[in-house]
Chains A and B, each alone.
Chain A
Amino acid sequence: ATRPLPLLFLNLGGEMLYILDQRLRAQSIPGEKARKDEWTDVDRKRVMNDIITTMFNKKFMEELFKPQELYSKKALRTVYDRLAHASIMRLNQASMDKLYDLMTMAFKYQVLLCPRPKDILLVTFNHLDAIKDFVRDSPGILNQVDETFRQLIEMYGCLSAGEFQLIRQTLLIFFQDMHIRVSIFLKDKVQNSNGRFVLPISGPVPWGTEVPGLIRMFNHNGDEVKRTQFTTDGNYIIPQREGSFELYGDRVLKLGTNMYSVSRPVETHMSGSSKNLAPHAKENIAPNPHAKEELNFLARLLGGLEIKKPGGSETGFQLNLFTTDEEEEQAALTRPEELSYKVVNIEATQEPGRQAELARILEELEVAEPRPASSDKGEDLLALMDGL
């Protein structure tokens, strides 16, 4: 379909930044009181700046906007993994898993509830508006984001409703069968306890749609000759105004704005409803026919991410997406197999040239940290990906 990837990437990235910002605020200590290994406000701003700078760098954006397919969730996750580590922050596997779960469920919700297919662009603009606010003190990065904004307007501004619906359908297929329960969604009654989202049958109709109920009939001259009404359980109203698709403006739509705050922490439930996952669980084991294309895609995107390595004396700061370290350990141990983001068997790719190139890129991106496993670097590509 006409380029769903930039929209997918930017919106998921936006959600990631909301979550990281919230967790960093929750874990931060006032500057004077902080120990050497504790977060401060200054650290938080630095992390946000570093990640946003990396996300919006020109080379990376160029790769992103090229015409290409949507790849698997696992392939995409590798890019976010790298992005999350673009600064002094470090995340354990369990926290990274949780982060990705939250990001994907949030965007799935936003895509599903878009009133019009075109509103997916407003959701994207909401995320970009918020990202611009995160870096409002840094004109250089602000320019990069504006540049991407303009590219989006140019690429998507003139698409028809049908083309947007095709993009939306492609995204929905990408998110199909994901039913991870998110605490903040459950509390707000936006998600049911079975993991499915609530679709309201009340509220404003989309811009350009009429409130259902009226039937008008015309004769062969075009004169209205009869008018009737029908009723349903729905309770709809007319919307007040349309959101803006300009660089600056009131988007009106709330989907895509930041729903987290320090007082509303986020937890996910690895639900025991694994029988719902059964039909797709087995897919993880079969060799991926698109493995080769996926590796090419990853090599290009990761190659475009210019990561600044932290200075020699700096060590990484650990960020925990759970409330305690024990919770994080527990989450890692109890994560159901079907929901694992481990990279699948890539035996399908026997091309040594491509393997070597990706290995080289991944090596460059390695952080100077003792690695838990003692596997040989540069040999097993699968192990390299796992070690990220």
Chain B
Amino acid sequence: QATWCVLPSRVLLVLTSQKGIQMYESDGSVMVYWHALDIAEHPPAQAVFARGIAAAGGRFICVGTSSGLVLVFDIPHKGTNVTVSEVLEEHHDAITDIAAELGQAPDGAGDLVTADDAGTLCVWSSGEEFTLLNKIPAFGCTCSSVKLWNGIVAAGYGNGQIRLYEAATGVLRAEVSAHARWIYALDLAPLTGKLLSGAEDSFVHVWKLSRNPDTDDVEIEHCHAECVTDTQICGARFCDPEGCSFAVTGYDLSEIFRYSQ
């Protein structure tokens, strides 16, 4: 995996693989930090890898591992003195995705979500010591990707479902039978609350998240669908913070397709 981690002082490019975690300066020129995965932590004959990357709390970069541990790295304003500040031990299954709050969190909603192979979601509040605010139990399906916006957790699952949860309470707020196959990617445009989902069924959907100001209920509506013929979507990302355009990649595809309004 590869993710830009945007912190107030710097932007780092973080890569995860089966060997470990690498962090580069944003122009790719210098490797700032290398963290090798500890094989001993994993049961023998099991896959070892890092997966799930997010910048949190204006100071940390969190990376998940196949053992379920989440490594929290403390990033200095500049230089290479990156240290492991904490190891979060709530998940028992391989981490699939990690997301930081992209908008404004309401009180008590936390600013980080971690997801795993079993489908369990954990909501955290970042800081010198991370606090677990909520643990949302799995319902029997892998949560493959997750996003957090204005206190709403958007989770995509291996059975094609998208679920929205209240980050502060863990309550289920919406259930969408969104795709006919495994959801690979979710992205969120923070200025409008648009949600993008891409799956193996060849479809990319654009949704709109909002909160009803009177009832405080979470709402989701379907905006648009694109079918990328004969392609299993592997990646989908908005190209701008309003969500007016998005890019899509797929298996066996050497091109990136870009769609815009």
Interface residues, chain A, CB within 8 Å of chain B? 1-3, 67, 112, 115-117, 160-163, 165-166, 172, 176-177, 179, 192, 196-199, 201, 205-206, 208-220, 222, 225-226, 228, 230, 232-234, 236, 279
B232 within 8 A of A: yes
Distance in angstroms from B200 CB to nearest chain A CB is 8
Most buried by B among A217, A218, A234: A217
Please give me the residue from chain B that is nearest to A191 by CB atom: B230
Residues of A with C-beta under 8 A to B201: 199, 201, 212, 234
Residues of A with C-beta under 8 A to B144: 162, 165
The CA of A57 and the CA of B168, in the complex, are separated in Å by 57
Residues of B with C-beta under 8 A to A198: 230
Most buried by B among A67, A201, A212, A214: A212
Whether the pair A216, B160 counts as a contact (CB closer than 8 A) is no
Whether the pair A162, B117 counts as a contact (CB closer than 8 A) is yes
Residues of B with C-beta under 8 A to A116: 158
Q: Which of B149-198 contact A (CB under 8 A)?
A: 158-161, 166, 169, 171-182
Distance in angstroms from A101 CB to nearest chain B CB is 16
The CA of A212 and the CA of B175, in the complex, are separated in Å by 11
The CA of A196 and the CA of B252, in the complex, are separated in Å by 9
Whether the pair A197, B230 counts as a contact (CB closer than 8 A) is yes
Distance in angstroms from A228 CB to nearest chain B CB is 7
B94 within 8 A of A: yes
| Cβ-neighbour of B141 out of A161, A197, A233 (below 8 A) | A161
B98 within 8 A of A: no
| Cβ-neighbour of B94 out of A162, A212, A226 (below 8 A) | A162
Please give me the residue from chain B that is nearest to A228 by CB atom: B221
Whether the pair A212, B230 counts as a contact (CB closer than 8 A) is no
Whether the pair A220, B202 counts as a contact (CB closer than 8 A) is no
Residues of B with C-beta under 8 A to A234: 180, 201, 203, 227
The CA of A118 and the CA of B142, in the complex, are separated in Å by 12
Whether the pair B222, A230 counts as a contact (CB closer than 8 A) is yes
| Cβ-neighbour of A117 out of B47, B94, B158 (below 8 A) | B158
Distance in angstroms from A388 CB to nearest chain B CB is 30
The CA of A165 and the CA of B117, in the complex, are separated in Å by 10
B118 within 8 A of A: yes
| Cβ-neighbour of A172 out of B118, B202, B251 (below 8 A) | B251
Residues of A with C-beta under 8 A to B166: 220
Whether the pair A2, B171 counts as a contact (CB closer than 8 A) is no
Whether the pair A165, B158 counts as a contact (CB closer than 8 A) is yes
